[in-house]
């Protein structure tokens, strides 16, 4: 399992998949997941942690991604900047 950081808040996340998860049988294989990639109509894509995904509005844009910030380990929010 590889590691990366959230494009929204910078929180460290794990990226599941590949040979590293072949023998986990559902444990720590990404089935719980720590991130998801959103692809927008403008062609941009953003790897976001689940707290950031939860903070986004129903119809997010790339500008919303720029406003994301980390509150604590389990919470993100949209800033007013």
CB 49 within 8 A of CB 13: yes
Residue 64 has pLDDT above 70, yes or no: yes
Among 16-25, 38-47, 67-76, the minimum mean pLDDT is found in 16-25
CA distance 37 to 64: 14
Q: For 24-30, what is the mean pLDDT?
A: 50
Q: How confident is the model at residue 29 (pLDDT cuts 50, 70, 90)?
A: very low
pLDDT at 30: 43
Residue 45 has pLDDT above 80, yes or no: yes
């Amino acid at each position: 399992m590889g590691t990366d950081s959230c494009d929204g808040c910078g929180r460290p996340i794990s990226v599941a998949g590949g040979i590293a998860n072949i023998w986990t049988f559902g444990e720590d294989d990404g089935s719980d997941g720590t991130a998801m990639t959103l692809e927008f109509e403008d062609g941009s894509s953003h790897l976001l942690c689940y707290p950031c995904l939860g903070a986004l509005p129903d119809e997010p844009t790339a500008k919303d991604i720029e406003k994301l910030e980390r509150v604590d380990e389990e919470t993100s929010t949209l800033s007013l900047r």
